[in-house]
Each structure stands twice: as C-alpha cells, then as structure tokens.
Amino acid sequence: MFKKILIANRGEIALRIIRACHELGIETVAVYSSADELSLHVRFADEAVCIGPPPGSESYMNIPSILSAAELTNSDAIHPGYGFLAENPEFAQVCTDNDFVFIGPSAETILSMGEKATAKKSMNEAGVPVIPGSAGVINSVGEAQKIASEIGFPIMLKASAGGGGRGMRIVKETDQLERAFVTASSEAKSAFNNGDLYLEKYVEKSRHIEIQILADQYSNVIHLGERECSLQRRHQKLIEESPSPIIDEKLRQKIGSAAVQGAASIGYVGLGTVEFLFDSKSKEFYFMEMNTRIQVEHPVTEMVMGNDLVKMQIRLAVGEEIPSNLAQQKLRGHAMECRINAEDPSNDFIPSPAKVEEFYAPGGNGVRMDSHVYAGYEISPHYDSLIAKLIVHSEDRNTTINRMQRALEETIIEGPKTTIPFHQAIMQNSDFQAGNFHTGFLETFVYEE
C-alpha cells in the first residue's frame, strides 16, 4: 500500500479522498492556493503545501508546482479528484515519468477517451451500441450533409474535444447544416484548440444513465449498477440517484454488461464511468462518453452498493485485485444526492460566493453530507459553486424522497444563496416523484421563490 498520497484538488472531494486515505492508514498531503489557506482539506491533511495564487489555472492546474510539492513531501502517489487535472493525459504521464503513481487509468487511456469521436469508434468496434451517425470525425460539410440525409434530421453536431455538453449543436434541417457546421467547428477550435466534429442522430426526450465500472490489472472488469443523472440544468447535474426509476434488473445487467465489455475492450484499468443516452420511447441505450475520473455523484453508488469507491480506486492503483465478493454485491434500497451550490436559483443560478455565517449539517438515519464548509468559511469566487452534497439512502425511492425533504428542511446555510429551496420544489413535483422526467426537465421547470 502507498505510504503517502498527495491530493491535487480542493473542496469536498479533497476531504473525501483524505478520509479514504486515513481509513487505509495512508498519510495525506494537501495542496492549496492562497485563497484556500483556511480550507478544511488543508486542516485535515497531515501536511499541506501552498502551490500558487487563487486562480485554478495557476494553482490546482499548475503541473510543475504540484510535482514539486509531491517531490518535497516524498509522496508515493497523486490523486487528482475530479475537474482540474483529473482527465489531463499530460499530467498523468508526467506523474508516471517522475515515479509518482497517478491514481487513475493510463495517460493513453485518458487521451483515447478524451477524444469523443475516437472513444465512440472504439466502443462501436467493441460491440457497444452507439447513436447512429458518422463513423468518426467528419471532414467536410459535404460529408456531414451526406450522413445527415441518410439518418434524417434532427441531428446533433458534437465537438470531439468537447464532452459534458460543451460544443454541441442541434440541427433541425438541411438548410441549417452548413452554417452550424462552420460555426460549431470554429467554436470548438477556439475553445479546445481542436475543431473536429462528429455527427449523430438527435435523440429526443432522452435520459442520462451512467454505469460505474471497476477494472483491475488482471483483466477483471465489473460494474456497480447505474446512476440516473437526467436532472441537469445547462449540463450541470443537480440531482442524481441510484437505481434509476426506469431501469429494471434485466436492463441493468444489459447496460452494465455493455459498459464492462467496452471497458475491457480498451484494456481499461481503474475506476471509471460509462455514460449512456437512454431513449425513453424506444428503450434503446447508446454509449455517449467515458469518464476516467471519480465523479461528483459517486456517493449514490456507494450507498446502494455498500462500498467505498475512493478506497477501491486507491487499491486498484496499487495493483490489488478486485475482491471476488464485490461483483456479487446486491443493490440495496435507493440513494439520492442533491448538489447544494452557492447559487441563487431565483436569479438564473448566478453564483453567490459569500461568507458562511451559519452552518448546520443534517443527520439521522440514512443521511450523509459531504461538504468542506463550516460556519465562518469564506466561499471563494475562484472555484465552482458546489458547497455540499446531501446524500440520502433508504429502502425505497419514496422513502428516500421523503427523507431528503426532511434533511433539506434541517440544513442551515446562512450567508450565500443556495440551491436548497430549488431542491425542495423538485422533491414536491409530481412528475419527479413518479420518476417521469428526461434531460430537458429542469430547463422547463418553473421555479419561483
């Protein structure tokens, strides 16, 4: 086992990783920007190194500074968390080249899954269902026109270097295709320094279903069921749950097997998530993207599967085998996560960074709160607005929704505006309660204070 892990991240996920390390008897090194000196990840880690000024680009994404900190503290491994450098293949490679274990898959794997058109092609070749469309990157408007006329409109143009909803365009008819192609490509070029686009049939009223997978160095690959992530606003997930209210055991095994098969085909090692688009009408599912990091919403899987995914991720990085009982684990009950952001839901979710004057985390049976916030903590405008994840678990979905309402009710966060009242409104919505929603649900959900 590693003796010491450096956590190249901040906020709740840095704390989450520190907790896993300490339970495993591993020493921890926090890195922090000058804005985060008073953060709990700095306080809870065994050692802490300041790596730069507040902007993430100069601190949490500053590769030379992070490597110097790892060197200085004699760390064995580096955990990147999510965001920042978590899916940066150069960072993974530089860690390895400097004899630090990167806790994640190889740089090569990160790179191949980061190019979305390539990832889709690999999965198609592995027999994983993909959305009908171009076989890879499209090279000209003419080619796009030809494919679009074959599969029919509406279609979607997606940036190969994008992902997570960045650099996408719906095209409804042939007249709009040329313009959309040119502008989407130039936007992708300036945003990602790569103008490559691919094309696919637009699936209406879809749901976002993702499968948690684990793979060890001995060719064992397993899945731990799905997470339902359709409740997003502008591609930011707000509520996630496991299991999905629309997936039965048979479908779960079918999608899970597809994810396992896809990961195995590329020699994946580590923890990962395979995202699928689920067509509510036809009940077909299609590969969308693969994420090579630990995800924000991982706790809902932990609650229903009764395991610790961050510990598993560390064990896989050390080279341990997946324990044989893990794949046999039965799904237990229902878990849901509400992302509490310092944002104003009645004012277009504008960020509300402020000093937290009062803070009380809810508790009781089946309630978990992952947060780095405390009374007196100053929320910095430099980073994302996630301040807490409220995760609730019970025997079934209705009881979980009821328990979530109770937990939201007793959460006290004074100072910033938060998404708590928005979550309370969703919990009371009858379509949400019936499990009747799709990825467009929150865009049309009317919220009034």
Cite the active site residues. Answer: 293
Nearer to ligand MV4, 16 or 208 (CB): 208
Nearest distance in Å: CB 156, ligand MV4: 4
Nearest CA among 392, 433, 406 for reference residue 300: 392
Q: Please report how close the Cβ of residue 182 comes to ligand MV4 at its closest, in angstroms.
A: 20
Using CB under 6 A, which residues numbered 162 to 191 contact ligand MV4?
164-165
Choices 72-80, 195-203, 397-405, 426-434 (CB under 6 A): range interacting with ligand MV4? 195-203
- Which of 76, 200, 297, 308 is close enough to bind ligand MV4 by CB under 6 A? 200
CB 331 within 8 A of CB 305: yes
Angstrom distance (rounded) from CA 89 to CA 412: 40
* 439 touches ligand MV4 by CB under 6 A: yes
Site membership for ligand MV4, residue 294 (CB under 6 A): no
Report the C-alpha gap between 136 and 143 in whole angstroms.
11
Q: Judged by CB under 6 A, does residue 232 bind ligand MV4?
A: yes
Torsion of CA 100, 290, 108, 15, to 10 degrees: -10
3-state helix, strand, coil in the chain (%, to 5): 35, 30, 35
Contact window for ligand MV4 (CB under 6 A) among 203-211, 318-326, 330-338, 383-391: 203-211
- Rounded distance, CA 219 to CA 315, Å? 15
Q: Which one of 49, 156, 171, 369 is in contact with ligand MV4 (CB under 6 A)?
A: 156
**Looking at the DSSP assignment, which residues form a beta bridge with residue 214?**
222, 271
Alpha-carbon distance of 11 to 373, in angstroms, equals 8
Closer to ligand MV4 by CB, 48 or 156: give it: 156
Edge-to-edge strand list for the sheet holding 77-79: 47-52, 27-33, 4-7, 77-79, 101-102
Determine, following the binding rule CB under 6 A, whether residue 85 of this chain makes contact with ligand MV4: no
Q: Does 397 bind ligand MV4 (CB under 6 A)?
A: no
Looking at the Cβ atoms of 67 and 296, the one nearer to ligand MV4 is 296
The size of the interface with ligand MV4 (CB under 6 A), counted in residues, is 17
Q: Tell me the CA distances in angstroms from 337 to 117, 383, 391, 401, 405, one per residue in order.
A: 31, 21, 4, 10, 12
Q: Is residue 88 within the footprint of ligand MV4 (CB under 6 A)?
A: no
Strand partners, 277: 208, 286
129 belongs to the binding site for ligand MV4 (CB under 6 A): no
Nearest distance in Å: CB 434, ligand MV4: 19
Rounded to a whole number of angstroms, the minimum distance from the CB of residue 164 to ligand MV4 is 6
Q: List contacts with ligand MV4 (CB under 6 A).
A: 131, 156, 164-165, 200-203, 206, 208, 232, 235, 275, 277, 288-289, 439
